[in-house]
């Protein structure tokens, strides 16, 4: 099976990808963040590096989803299906030119048209979206300690984070590539609480069984 995760920065996608892959006996595919050479540049000068960052992520996500579809036994902590949300948010914030938006949209469309031919599998078996509040988001961002993500380092980040969270409901409603489900990341602290972690795994197992993906 192939499961893709989605959610804002700090939602716990990498943590859940690890737990879920171990639980199901599958491979985890992680978004490249800590070794991303463009991300720190973006946080220092978003307007200059937004387009470059998104092209970098888009390329990595396309590479990952192709591998995942071929192997068909994995969990992705973020996927290409979520990519456009980030770039168009930055474009709406004045961090990309109309020409950059046009180039990005055409490139993404070409990639999405090519994707079904990359492997026998055409789409994920399940999208698991992690829904969190701003307070939970900031708590996890502070805990993992990446300096460039901290609001006290950049007074524009709270607006950026609130903007990002506000877009996910519409994105989730529009997502139609596969079956989908939401996990309340405020209610279930699957990162630190073992009981909550098991509840989340049970919820996902239930959805997989309903769809005949899990015995």
Catalytic residue, chosen from 77, 92, 125, 169, is 77
Which pTM value belongs to this model? 0.92
Rounded Cα gap, residues 47 and 41, in angstroms = 10
Distance of CA 33 to the CA centre of its chain: 12
Domains of the chain: 2-211 (3.40.50.300)
Ligand-binding site membership of 122 (annotated): no
Give the pLDDT of residue 16: 96
- Is 94 annotated in some ligand binding site? no
- Give the pLDDT of residue 145: 85
State residue 99's pLDDT score.
97
CB-count burial class (<10 Å; 0-12, 13-18, 19+) for 75: buried
Q: Is 12 annotated as a binding residue?
A: yes
Does residue 77 have an active-site annotation?
A: yes
Q: Is 25 annotated as a binding residue?
A: no
pLDDT at 115: 86
Q: Confirm or deny that 149 is annotated as ligand binding.
A: yes
Task: Please state the three-class secondary structure of 39-63 as a single string.
Answer: HHHHHHCHHHHHHHHHHHHHHHHHH
User: CB–CB of 205/215 below 8 Å?
Assistant: no
Q: Is 68 annotated as a binding residue?
A: no
Per-residue pLDDT of the chain (215 residues; tens, 9 = 90+): 899 999 999 999 999 999 999 999 999 998 877 678 898 898 889 999 999 999 999 999 999 998 888 888 899 999 999 999 999 999 999 999 999 999 999 999 999 998 888 777 788 999 999 999 999 999 999 988 888 889 888 888 999 999 999 999 999 999 999 999 999 999 999 989 999 999 999 999 999 999 888 77
């Amino acid at each position: 099976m192939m499961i893709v995760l989605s959610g804002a920065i700090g939602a716990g996608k990498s943590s859940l990808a690890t737990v879920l892959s171990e639980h199901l006996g599958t491979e985890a595919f992680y978004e490249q963040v800590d070794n991303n050479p463009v991300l720190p540049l973006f946080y220092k000068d978003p307007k200059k590096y937004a387009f470059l960052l998104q092209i970098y992520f888009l390329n990595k996500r396309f590479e990952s989803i192709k591998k995942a579809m071929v192997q068909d036994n994995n969990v992705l902590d973020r996927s290409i299906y979520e990519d456009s949300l980030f770039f168009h948010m930055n474009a709406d914030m004045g961090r990309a030119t109309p020409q950059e938006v046009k180039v990005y949209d055409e490139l993404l469309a070409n990639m999405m048209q090519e994707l079904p031919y990359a492997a026998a599998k055409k789409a994920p078996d399940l999208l698991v979206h992690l829904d969190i509040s701003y307070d939970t988001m900031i708590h996890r961002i502070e805990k993992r300690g990446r300096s460039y993500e901290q609001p006290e380092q950049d007074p524009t980040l709270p607006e950026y984070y609130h903007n990002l969270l506000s877009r996910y409901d519409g994105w989730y409603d529009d997502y139609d590539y596969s079956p989908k489900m939401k996990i309340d990341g405020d209610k279930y602290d699957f990162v630190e609480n073992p009981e909550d972690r098991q509840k989340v795994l049970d919820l996902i197992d239930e959805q997989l069984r309903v769809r005949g993906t899990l015995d």
